Structure 1
């Protein structure tokens, strides 16, 4: 089943990489995909908490930083982490329907 998910280094989670239309997978394959996605999806809030902690540390650094160049770098890093969090929430919410299929 690993070949149906690709590790996204930026997000820090595997994401679906399905080459076929959903109906082209057997019911058994669909179930395996759904179970694996639900496990991945369940890890997203923990990943977001990790990133939020990193943002908080960088904000503390930023508040004490007097070097303009370093401040700009920290701001950029914080913005990128916030963007990753936003993308993770999109994956989490967009694929919420997948979880519902598992329970039906």
Structure 2
């Protein structure tokens, strides 16, 4: 309900229909709990992508076809970009906003 699968990243990311402050404290706590579970999986996802990069780099070292070498470089660049985006999401840590009493 609050998250949507991002196929490129391989994780669910927040998909909030309203401003964070407009959610009740209970909803915020629930969302944060769900996010912490997703967030906890990010290092494993990064490790998997790093292994894919290492495989492609090994293939690149042996590749003699120029076009295939270019394609491998593109794939490595895309995987590195995904890792960068995952680190940004990993550093995202929302907090519960206190209700204002007027």
Q: TM-score scaled to structure 2, two decimals?
A: 0.89
Which one has a bigger Cα radius of gyration? 2
List aligned pairs for 1:1-104, cutoff 5 A.
3-93=1-91, 95-96=92-93, 98=94, 101=95
RMSD in angstroms over aligned alpha carbons?
1.1
Q: TM-score scaled to structure 1, two decimals?
A: 0.88
> Which blocks of at least 5 consecutive residues in structure 2 are unaligned?
97-102
Task: Please state which structure has a larger fraction of its residues in helix.
Answer: 1
Total equivalences in the alignment: 96
Task: Return the alpha-carbon distance in structure 2 between the equivalents of residues 91 and 18 of structure 1.
Answer: 15
Spell out structure 1 runs of 4+ moving beyond 3 A.
none
Q: Deviations over 1:32-74 (max 9, x none)?
A: 1000000111111100000000000000000000000100000
